[in-house]
Structure 1
Amino acid sequence: MKVNWEKKENNQGVLTVEVPAENVESSIEKAYKKMRKDIEIPGFRKGRVPRKIIENRFGVEVFYEEAANFMLQEFYPKAIEESGIEPVAQPEIDVEELEAGKPFIFKATVTVKPEVELGEYKDLGITKTVKEVSDEDVDAEVKSMQEKNAELIVADENTEIAEGDTAVIDFEGYIGEEAFEGGKGENHPLVIGSKSFIPGFEEQLVGKKLGDELDVKVTFPKEYHAESLAGKEATFKVKINEVKTKKLPELNDEFAKDNNFDSLDELKKDVKEKLEQQAEEQGKREFEQAVIDKVTENAKVDIPEVMVDNRLEDMVKEMEQRLSSQGMNLETYLQFTGGDLETMKAELKPQAEKDVKTNLVIETVVENEGIEVTEEDFEDEIKKLAEMYKQEVDKIKEIFSMPGQKESIEDGIKRRKAVELLLENS
């Protein structure tokens, strides 16, 4: 096999491959064996027609397309490996020559991984900052715990609805004089201030009482998911069936004991320690992101559009998986948000471009620094995975030692080492 790689502009090039004539003959024979089962000629049993008979009847060219497929599957990957290029998309194939007894010549127009020109990636002058946890932060967290432990008490008919109360209501919405579909509910619990209803709805219930009936007038948002209602004025006829108020527990030692602490001081101490740990973790994440962002910003690279498109597709799939875990699909989500797939992709594209550039930059740091994975690194990673999946180490090792799997693990370790290097030298 002869291989020639000619680099062009815009991260593209042409790979010219010449496959020896003997491989052409063996591929035609493979094509014959695959195709003969579907060829019928009078006087022969189906699948038993000799190759010469088929060639005399239809010409040897009948096997060329299938033979070309066999050769492309075998020799394109070999040509890629020999030339040392890294394709990032499917090639455009142009068959130059295919004839029995002659070499098979094809050209592949290939988009390859771009070269990255790293800028400064050490001594960036970025420092980690950790937010100091104040007494006010602790009090706010304890207050949140108090709210979560609150009891809902059914109020009497003289209690006016206030922010934070729950109003149990019947409602029906009208556009003009006509009720609209999906605008009706009975005994619906609505937390005032939750902003779960149309803007302006909940505020009009404040000050009302049990048994009150009122008209609530609102305007649907222009980007409302139901096009028939978007931007329109509506009136909801509302009846208040029940009012529930929150009864907060007292913040004392009894409250602490109910939450498995001996005293309120101990509870606050624990809250502060956890908030400090969270602040430390957040500081680490923000520091790491700031360093990676700066290194990415300092680098220069011409990113092929196909890499951005591939990342966009991955992002959409990731969103579909998240929605599925919440019992929703992408189509329903888009209907609810009033968008469409192309609009969503346009919104995600800047992040996709950033992700692709960051990945390329980290890979280049790995190469520049000669970062390698030792057997000890791999063993440690296997142990972590075994612990994560609650499996035996040998079982995990067997799975991730398979071709392709081990390389993926090693790539992840290299990337992590590269990020650690950047952080240490920032």
Structure 2
Amino acid sequence: MKSSVEQLTPTRVKLNVEIPFEELSSEFEGAYAALAQQVRIPGFRPGKAPAKLIEARVGRDAVLAQVVNDVIPVKYSEAVEEADLKVISNPEIDVAEIVDGQPVKFTAEVDIRPEIKLPDYSKLAVKVDSVKEGDEAVDEQLEGLRERFGTLKAVERGAKDGDHVTLDLEATVDGKPVPDATTEGLTHEVGSGQLIDGLDEAVQGLKAGEQADFSTKLVAGEFADSDANVTVKVGSVKERELPELDDEFAQMASEFDTMDELRAAVGEQVGQSLKMEQANAVRDQVLEELIDKTDFPVPEGVVQEEVDGQIAQMMQSIGNDEAMFERLLEAQGTTREDFEKEAREGAERSVRAQLLLDAIADEEKTEVSQEELTQQIIFLSQRYGMAPQDFVNQLQQSGQIGALYADARRNKALSSIVTNVKVTDDKGKKVDVTEFFTPPQEGEDEGDDA
């Protein structure tokens, strides 16, 4: 096999491959076997017909086509490996005319990873928010715990923000009832903004049994984009009553006997959580700084593929309803052109980050152990509420195991260089990141990095 590489752009090449016909001899046996499963010849079981009969039935050209289809992926991979190309997209393959006895020629255009000159990490500097004071964060957590154990109590006063109310709604457009916006006994938290515009303002101050009228623009259904008149009637008003932060509460809400013990445990958890949040912020800021400091061309085809994927995912989530998509854009005050422009900017930055982290991983010789990959799978399966094996099966069926490994490798590569970067908080204090980002010691397996 002969092959050559033609550089089309800094991120795209064309492979020219020529396969001598004699190199195909070993492929004919496989081609006949494949065709034998497809062709039915009287007197022979499937897969058992002789090669000459198969060729007589389907023709020599069909056999040649089968051979070429089988051999091209193999020879393409060999050409990529021989040229030491770092391909990052599927190839566009063009096969020349196939002539029996003559060399098989094909070309393959493919995107490749560009050359990336990495910056000196020690010259990078990032700033993150300082960790909140412990007492303030602990109080927030305990307040959230109180709300979880709070009870709703009926009140006779008018509704205000934070109250839970039951509502009856009736809506009309030009005197016609709107079934989608008509309901009884609906539960709603005043001030949450989770229902139609104008509702929270209308129920403010209303007592149980009182009603009010207001106007709003409908955003979905038969009367989408129409102005509707809505009557809301309050059935009940309840306020959330929170328990006192005392020993009795500690025993009810936790395994601790006293409030002091509960506060100390929450303080420890909060402290670790806040440190982890800061560590994540450090990693994100380092990546942003790397992207801003490193200039290289990004493959247009890969960016477009990501843009198309984002739009396809969005359309699938709304049942490929173009009209609904347009209404969503209008509700957000944007246009399809602006949406696609924003999607392209995000896709380009995402691809740039992936290419940059791949280059760092190569430079740092980053590898992901089987144990680390397993931990990543367990973490993600828990996030999606799936059993780990079911999650693995889904990844295998969709061909995403490789992508999962690549993401784990990129994350590990980024973590491995964070300790080289100067990190300070918004108060000018140096941030010690070694608790979460400890570089491998000399002689250690790099898979042990935190």
Secondary structure of the structure 1 residue equivalent to 2:207:
coil
The equivalent residue for 1:424 is: 419
d(CA) in 2 for partners of 1:164, 1:409: 42
The equivalent residue for 1:70 is: 70
Alignment of 1:44-83 (within 5 A): 51=52, 60-83=60-83
The equivalent residue for 2:249 is: 255
| Contact 2:318–2:325 (8 Å) recurs in 1 | no
d(CA) in 1 for partners of 2:283, 2:37: 61
For residues 386 and 40 of structure 1, do their structure 2 counterparts lie closer, same or farther at Cα, with a shift above 3 Å needed? closer
For residues 226 and 10 of structure 1, do their structure 2 counterparts lie closer, same or farther at Cα, with a shift above 3 Å needed? farther
Amino acid at match of 1:187: G
The equivalent residue for 1:198 is: 196
| Contact 1:129–1:283 (8 Å) recurs in 2 | yes
The equivalent residue for 1:175 is: 173
The equivalent residue for 1:308 is: 303
For residues 280 and 82 of structure 1, do their structure 2 counterparts lie closer, same or farther at Cα, with a shift above 3 Å needed? same
Deviation per CA, 1:202-251, whole angstroms, max 9, x where unpaired? 22112212222332x13227xx3447332x33222222222222223234
Amino acid at match of 1:198: I
The equivalent residue for 2:369 is: 378
Deviation per CA, 1:251-306, whole angstroms, max 9, x where unpaired? 44433343334444444444433332222111111111111111121112211122
For residues 121 and 151 of structure 1, do their structure 2 counterparts lie closer, same or farther at Cα, with a shift above 3 Å needed? same
Amino acid at match of 1:185: T
Q: Does 1:350 align with 2:350?
A: no
Q: Paired residue for 1:210, among 208, 211, 228? A: 208
| Contact 1:8–1:14 (8 Å) recurs in 2 | yes
The equivalent residue for 1:243 is: 237
Which range is displaced more, 127-136 or 236-245? Answer: 127-136
For residues 387 and 138 of structure 1, do their structure 2 counterparts lie closer, same or farther at Cα, with a shift above 3 Å needed? closer
Deviation per CA, 1:63-82, whole angstroms, max 9, x where unpaired? 33323212213322222222
For residues 387 and 134 of structure 1, do their structure 2 counterparts lie closer, same or farther at Cα, with a shift above 3 Å needed? closer
The equivalent residue for 2:333 is: none
Displacement of 1:32 = 5.0
For residues 88 and 206 of structure 1, do their structure 2 counterparts lie closer, same or farther at Cα, with a shift above 3 Å needed? same
Amino acid at match of 1:228: F
d(CA) in 1 for partners of 2:407, 2:195: 45
Structure 2: gaps of 5 or more residues: 330-335, 383-398, 422-450
For residues 51 and 187 of structure 1, do their structure 2 counterparts lie closer, same or farther at Cα, with a shift above 3 Å needed? same
d(CA) in 2 for partners of 1:315, 1:84: 31
d(CA) in 2 for partners of 1:143, 1:98: 75
d(CA) in 1 for partners of 2:320, 2:97: 51
For residues 236 and 112 of structure 1, do their structure 2 counterparts lie closer, same or farther at Cα, with a shift above 3 Å needed? same
The equivalent residue for 1:331 is: 319
Displacement of 1:183 = 0.9
| Contact 1:226–1:338 (8 Å) recurs in 2 | no
Amino acid at match of 2:168: D
d(CA) in 1 for partners of 2:326, 2:193: 16
Q: Does 1:291 align with 2:282?
A: no
Displacement of 1:201 = 0.9
The equivalent residue for 2:444 is: none
Q: Paired residue for 2:216, among 192, 215, 219? A: 219
Which range is displaced more, 84-93 or 57-66? Answer: 57-66
Amino acid at match of 2:159: I
Deviation per CA, 1:128-164, whole angstroms, max 9, x where unpaired? 65323264444344333333322112334xx222222
Amino acid at match of 1:90: N
The equivalent residue for 2:108 is: 108
Secondary structure of the structure 2 residue equivalent to 1:113:
coil
d(CA) in 2 for partners of 1:257, 1:200: 42
d(CA) in 2 for partners of 1:209, 1:407: 59
d(CA) in 2 for partners of 1:200, 1:119: 53
| Contact 1:24–1:104 (8 Å) recurs in 2 | no
Displacement of 1:177 = 0.9
Deviation per CA, 1:163-205, whole angstroms, max 9, x where unpaired? 2222212111111211113011111112111211222212211
For residues 265 and 40 of structure 1, do their structure 2 counterparts lie closer, same or farther at Cα, with a shift above 3 Å needed? closer
d(CA) in 1 for partners of 2:45, 2:248: 88
Secondary structure of the structure 2 residue equivalent to 1:204:
helix
Displacement of 1:116 = 1.8
d(CA) in 1 for partners of 2:37, 2:242: 80
| Contact 1:141–1:271 (8 Å) recurs in 2 | yes
Amino acid at match of 1:381: E
For residues 75 and 267 of structure 1, do their structure 2 counterparts lie closer, same or farther at Cα, with a shift above 3 Å needed? same
Secondary structure of the structure 2 residue equivalent to 1:8:
strand
d(CA) in 2 for partners of 1:220, 1:89: 46
| Contact 1:39–1:49 (8 Å) recurs in 2 | no
The equivalent residue for 1:187 is: 185
Amino acid at match of 1:96: A
For residues 363 and 168 of structure 1, do their structure 2 counterparts lie closer, same or farther at Cα, with a shift above 3 Å needed? same
Displacement of 1:109 = 2.1
Which range is displaced more, 180-189 or 260-269? Answer: 260-269
- Normalising by structure 1, we get a TM-score of 0.76
For residues 61 and 150 of structure 1, do their structure 2 counterparts lie closer, same or farther at Cα, with a shift above 3 Å needed? closer
Q: Does 1:280 align with 2:275?
A: yes
Task: Among all aligned residue pairs of Structure 1 and Structure 2, give the percentage whose two residues are the same amino acid.
Answer: 25
Structure 1: gaps of 5 or more residues: 324-328, 391-403
| Contact 2:178–2:223 (8 Å) recurs in 1 | no
Secondary structure of the structure 1 residue equivalent to 2:121:
coil
Q: How many residues align?
A: 394
The equivalent residue for 1:398 is: none
d(CA) in 1 for partners of 2:420, 2:242: 50
Larger Rg: 1
